[in-house]
């Protein structure tokens, strides 16, 4: 019974994304993570710094927009750093659908998630 319970347990993973040049790579990693676990994973993406620019709805590439919306449909929870949003003069409504604001900041959100048992990944 104990082994079966472990097999059913969902992974909890927090992905850190701050580098603009890694946006496509990280979204690909997240897609692979969902596929590799058969969807038995709770993934939270925390975006801050230059990477947030890739998720502006008016300027996001079709590839990023499509990939991100597919991941949101798969269950991805995404947080945008409120400090970065303020610095870039960006509101949640300016971002692709699916983002929540990390009101206390991206790094604080990542630390909170780790405290809640999420594994931290920075591809």
User: Hey, which residues does 47 pair with through a beta bridge?
Assistant: 17, 80
**Is 3 among the domain residues?**
no
pLDDT recorded at residue 9: 82
Domain, as residue range, for 49:
10-121
User: Hey, which residues does 11 pair with through a beta bridge?
Assistant: 41
Under DSSP, the state recorded for 5 is H
pLDDT recorded at residue 88: 97
**DSSP notation for 7-65:** HHPPEEEEEEE--GGGHHHHHHHHHHHHHHTTT-EEEEEEE-GGGGGGGBTTT--HHHH
Comparing CA positions, the residue from 35, 15, 39, 33 lying closest to residue 109 is 15
**Is 22 among the domain residues?**
yes
Number of folded domains that form the chain: 1
pTM: 0.92
SS3 102: strand
For 111, residues 6+ apart whose C-beta sits below 8 A from its C-beta are: none
**Is 82 among the domain residues?**
yes
pLDDT recorded at residue 1: 46
**Is 111 among the domain residues?**
yes
**Is 2 among the domain residues?**
no
- CA 73-107-57 angle, to 5 degrees, is 40
Comparing CA positions, the residue from 118, 90, 117, 99 lying closest to residue 33 is 118
Tell me which residues of the chain have a pLDDT lower than 70.
1-8
**Is 5 among the domain residues?**
no
pLDDT recorded at residue 37: 95
**Is 104 among the domain residues?**
yes
Query: Tell me, what CATH number does 101's domain have?
Result: 3.40.1260.10
**Is 70 among the domain residues?**
yes
């Amino acid at each position: 019974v104990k082994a079966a319970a472990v097999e059913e347990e969902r992974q909890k993973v927090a992905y850190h994304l701050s580098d603009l040049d890694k946006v496509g790579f990280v979204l690909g990693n997240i897609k692979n993570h969902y596929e590799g676990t058969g969807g038995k994973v709770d993934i939270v993406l925390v975006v801050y710094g230059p990477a947030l620019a890739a998720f502006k709805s008016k300027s996001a590439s079709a590839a990023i927009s499509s990939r991100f919306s597919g991941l949101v449909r798969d269950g991805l929870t995404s947080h945008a750093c409120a400090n970065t949003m303020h610095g870039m003069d960006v509101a949640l409504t300016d971002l692709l659908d699916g983002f929540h604001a990390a009101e206390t900041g991206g790094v604080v959100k990542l630390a909170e998630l780790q405290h809640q048992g999420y594994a931290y990944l920075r591809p």
